[in-house]
Amino acid sequence: MSGLFLKGWRRFRRDERGAHSVFLAMALIPLVGFAGIAVDTARGYTLKNRLTSSLDAAGLAAGRVFFSAGATNDAIDFFRANIPADFMGATVPDPVVTKDDVAGTVTLTVTATMPTSFMRIFGIDDVQVSRKTVIQRENRGLELVMVLDNTGSMRHPPSSGGQKRIYSLRDAANQLIDILYGTNETVENLWVGLVPYVTQVNVGSAHNAWLNSSYDPNTFLPDTWDGCVLIREGLDESDTPPTSDATRFHAYNYDSGADNTWPPISPAPGGESGWAKKPNQNGQWTGPNVGCPHPILPLTAEKSTIKAAIDVMRPWRSGGTHGSVGMAWGWRAISPQWRGMWQGSPSQLPLDYGDPQMDKVVIILTDGFNQAFDHYTPGPEGWDYTAYSEPAFSDTSNYNSYGRLNWSSAQIVSMVDQSLARICENMKAEGIIVYSITFDGGSPSLFQNCATSIGHYIDVESGDDLTAAFTQIGEELADLRISQ
């Protein structure tokens, strides 16, 4: 027995395999721990990256509807569309969304909790991953001119019902301004102009230097020239500035006659969309400025000034609708050819075409087709006086003895439509972005073609739809970037 015992003892002493196994097991513990840390760290990075991209998408979604009551919900919806609440087994809550209207920022923060797989060996059961994104609403340099229909039909509600179209237009235009400005009175490199149009446009009586030397202020007694002008032969579709008699304008002057007797013999139709720009000394709605709307607001930086010009817009019952005249002046209000010519606007404006940091945008809205109108059919004067009245062209045979176009309504409409189409093309050729809106009427094909693309054309039927259209445009004009 003793011999066998001694042999076994010697073998046990010589056999180190068991000790090696113990030491190997002890050595594997930190190795497995470090490998586990690497795995859990990789999972953490994956979670962090997914949180970051999801927050960015959510922030951009909120930024585009910055002033909407649903901006926070939109942000959360976009966040959830990109990352589920149990991503990789983690607990991912909804982000906290904070808006700063003054700074124009949307801040989103989120902290997710991820259970560990191997780090539990060291007593670490979970890790937290926090991310933050700040979206800065940044408006590119922008010159925006709104060419807005102020014709008599704007005093009626749309066919779908609701308030008068002119009120809906004011609301929608103000909404656009609120989107661009937020609560700020000015925004760097942002200027907005306004062109109310009917069948003529009021350039502002302060610009009498733009009138041809044949202008005689005595012809306007007992009233004064209020600022409307006629088209120019060969230049009615251009942005050529008035620098000589050949390029200057003739004053709009609705002569006295059966359809506009002045000084008055009897009152003419009045009311909200009365015949005259203002009453004469007897308070009756007649005179040389009948149908001359509120003046153009040239490019302006101040939000309050722009909104005030929007709020005084009203319908003008005269002549019909000539979108070509409105659009021509929308172009001139934004063309660098007219730099420094607009009183009340900064002398450096409008800026050059093609500036990589500047967008030039014109929005035209109409509530109907281009048309000619005679409020006293079959009056001897023919069509109401418009920017196309008096022989502005060499061929005077096109005019009757009262200086009105002697064409059929269809001929006048065709001329105005074709002119509008050419003006739109000329503007787009200069890089101007054109949006067009038809409000409960109008020619879809004409205004689709006028717009920069079919995506820049919007047809609306109600006041709510119109506000949504202007909101959409405002959001598209607000360029967003991720600042943090």
DSSP string computed for 17-82: HHHHHHHHHHHHHHHHHHHHHHHHHHHHHHHHHHHHHHHHHHHHHHHHTTTSTTHHHHHHHHHHHH
Cα dihedral 308, 309, 315, 316 in deg (nearest 10):
140
Nearest in space to 300 (alpha carbons), one of 289, 309, 313, 312:
309
> What total of structural domains would you count in the chain?
2
Look at residues 135, 160, 191 and tell me which one is the last residue of a structural domain.
135
Is 372 buried (19+), middle (13-18) or exposed (0-12) by CB count in 10 A?
buried
Walk along the chain (484 residues) and give the pLDDT tens digit of each residue.
Answer: 455 544 544 553 455 544 444 444 444 455 555 566 788 888 889 999 999 999 999 988 887 777 666 788 989 999 999 999 999 999 999 999 998 877 778 999 999 999 988 777 778 889 999 999 998 876 679 999 999 999 999 999 999 999 999 999 999 999 999 988 888 899 889 999 999 999 999 999 999 999 999 888 888 776 789 899 999 989 999 999 999 999 999 999 988 877 877 766 555 554 444 445 554 444 456 788 888 999 999 999 999 999 999 999 999 878 899 999 999 999 999 999 999 999 999 999 999 999 988 999 999 999 989 999 987 766 678 899 999 998 766 778 889 888 898 899 999 999 999 999 999 999 999 999 999 999 998 899 999 999 999 999 999 999 999 999 999 998 888 766 666 6
CB 447 within 8 A of CB 436: yes
Sheet arrangement for strand 433-439:
297-300, 190-197, 141-149, 358-366, 433-439, 457-460
pLDDT of residue 288: 86
Q: In this structure, are 181 and 260 located in the same domain?
A: yes
Cα dihedral 115, 119, 124, 130 in deg (nearest 10):
-50
pLDDT of residue 458: 97
Q: How many CA atoms lie within 13 A of 393 on its CB side?
A: 13
Q: In this structure, are 77 and 148 located in the same domain?
A: no
Look at residues 135, 157, 188 and tell me which one is the last residue of a structural domain.
135
Q: In this structure, are 280 and 187 located in the same domain?
A: yes
Q: In this structure, are 99 and 208 located in the same domain?
A: no
Is 80 buried (19+), middle (13-18) or exposed (0-12) by CB count in 10 A?
middle
* Token digits of residue 409: 């309504």
Cα 68 to Cα 97: distance, rounded to the nearest angstrom: 14
Q: In this structure, are 115 and 252 located in the same domain?
A: no
Boundaries of domain holding 442: 141-482
Bridge partners, 97 (sequence order): 108
Nearest in space to 441 (alpha carbons), one of 220, 156, 233, 222:
156
Q: In this structure, are 183 and 197 located in the same domain?
A: yes
Q: Does the pTM exceed 0.85? A: no
Q: In this structure, are 43 and 84 located in the same domain?
A: yes
CB 118 within 8 A of CB 35: yes
Residue 176 CB contacts under 8 Å (≥ 6 apart), including other chains: 146, 470, 471, 473, 474
Q: In this structure, are 207 and 273 located in the same domain?
A: yes
Cα 367 to Cα 373: distance, rounded to the nearest angstrom: 15
Cα 448 to Cα 456: distance, rounded to the nearest angstrom: 8
Cα 241 to Cα 333: distance, rounded to the nearest angstrom: 11
| Cis, bond preceding 95 (omega within 30 deg of 0) | no
Cα 459 to Cα 462: distance, rounded to the nearest angstrom: 10
Q: In this structure, are 86 and 206 located in the same domain?
A: no
* Token digits of residue 75: 């942000």
Q: In this structure, are 197 and 333 located in the same domain?
A: yes
Bridge partners, 233 (sequence order): none
pLDDT of residue 257: 79
Q: In this structure, are 201 and 312 located in the same domain?
A: yes
DSSP 8-state symbol, 142: E
Cα 466 to Cα 460: distance, rounded to the nearest angstrom: 6
Q: In this structure, are 111 and 257 located in the same domain?
A: no
253: CATH? 3.40.50.410
Look at residues 135, 153, 180 and tell me which one is the last residue of a structural domain.
135
- Amino acid, res. 171: D
Cα 314 to Cα 310: distance, rounded to the nearest angstrom: 9
- Amino acid, res. 178: D
